[in-house]
């Protein structure tokens, strides 16, 4: 069970410290998303979780995904959420009745699920360490490699995804328009 502790023997200490701080912020913000009584605050806490996620991607040397995360989630999805809140509920501020009557059922489900997932993860990876990430500013090999993969082996899924996005955009317009 050593893996649970963010021990730093022989591994990159700065990376571990950064990971720990960001992870703590993300967990706190995620708990706030599911417990706060204010819908708008929940959306803003969710923005914090997603920003922390982008920071974790940078720690994991996935800059391109991090930038996409910031643009798509924090830029577009959060605006969508705030519009959704605004259009469905004029009341801004804390309100009652956000939770189900039987909301407490979720606690044992989440705890058992986490126990299961943590057991499986620790069983699978044990104490293996990730090779030290080298963040080289100038060369963006990973991004070039992503471009190569998307435009050759993953070209068909990429086209499929464009159609999904098109269908989703048209579907959202058709669903939401007044007539």
Partner 1 sequence: MLAANFLLLAALLFCIGVFGVIARRNAVMVLMSIELVLSSVNLNLIAFALMNDDVDGQVFALFVIAIAAAEVGVGLAMVLLIYRNRQSISLDELSELKG
Site residues for partner 1, 125-144, by CB under 8 A, read 125-133, 142
Return the DSSP state at 134: P
Distance, first Cα to last Cα, the chain: 60
Closer residue to partner 1 (CB): 92 or 167: 167
Among 87, 135, 138, 156, binds partner 1 (CB under 8 A): 87
For the bound state, the minimum distance from the C-beta of residue 136 to partner 1, rounded and expressed in Å, comes to 15
For the bound state, the minimum distance from the C-beta of residue 48 to partner 1, rounded and expressed in Å, comes to 12
Closer residue to partner 1 (CB): 138 or 173: 173
For residue 48, give both structure tokens. Answer: 């914090």
Pick out residues in 142-171 that bind partner 1 (CB under 8 A): 142, 145-146, 149-150, 154, 157, 161, 164-165, 167-169, 171
Closer residue to partner 1 (CB): 96 or 138: 96
Among 97, 138, 139, 156, binds partner 1 (CB under 8 A): 97
26 touches partner 1 by CB under 8 A: yes
39 touches partner 1 by CB under 8 A: yes
**Cβ(77)–Cβ(65) below 8 Å:** no
Alpha-carbon distance of 88 to 141, in angstroms, equals 45
Alpha-carbon distance of 118 to 170, in angstroms, equals 40
Pick out residues in 43-82 that bind partner 1 (CB under 8 A): 43, 46, 49-50, 53, 56-57, 60-62, 64-65, 68-69, 72-73, 76-77, 80-81
Query: Which residues, 6 or more positions from 49, have their beta carbon under 8 angstroms from its beta carbon?
Result: 26, 29, 30, 33
**Cβ(59)–Cβ(15) below 8 Å:** yes
Alpha-carbon distance of 45 to 74, in angstroms, equals 11
Closer residue to partner 1 (CB): 92 or 171: 171
Dihedral (Cα; 53, 56, 57, 59), 10-degree rounding: 170
Instruction: State the number of binding residues for partner 1 (CB under 8 A).
Output: 91
Element of type H or E holding 12: none
118 touches partner 1 by CB under 8 A: yes
């Amino acid at each position: 069970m050593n893996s649970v502790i963010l021990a730093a023997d022989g591994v990159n200490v700065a990376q571990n410290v950064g990971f720990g701080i960001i992870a703590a912020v993300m967990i706190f913000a995620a708990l706030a998303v599911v417990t706060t009584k204010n819908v708008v605050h929940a959306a803003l806490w969710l923005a914090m979780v997603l920003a922390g996620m982008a920071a974790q991607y940078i720690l994991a040397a996935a800059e391109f995904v991090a930038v996409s995360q910031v643009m798509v989630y924090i830029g577009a999805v959060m605006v969508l959420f705030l519009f959704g809140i605004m259009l469905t509920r004029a009341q801004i501020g804390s309100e009652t009745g956000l939770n189900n009557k039987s909301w407490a059922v979720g606690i044992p489900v989440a705890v058992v699920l986490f126990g299961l997932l943590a057991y499986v993860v620790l069983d699978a990876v044990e104490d293996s360490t990730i090779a030290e990430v080298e963040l080289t500013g100038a060369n963006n090999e990973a991004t070039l490699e992503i471009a190569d993969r998307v435009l050759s082996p993953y070209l068909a899924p990429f086209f499929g995804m464009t159609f999904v996005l098109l269908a989703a955009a048209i579907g959202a317009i058709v669903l939401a328009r007044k007539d």
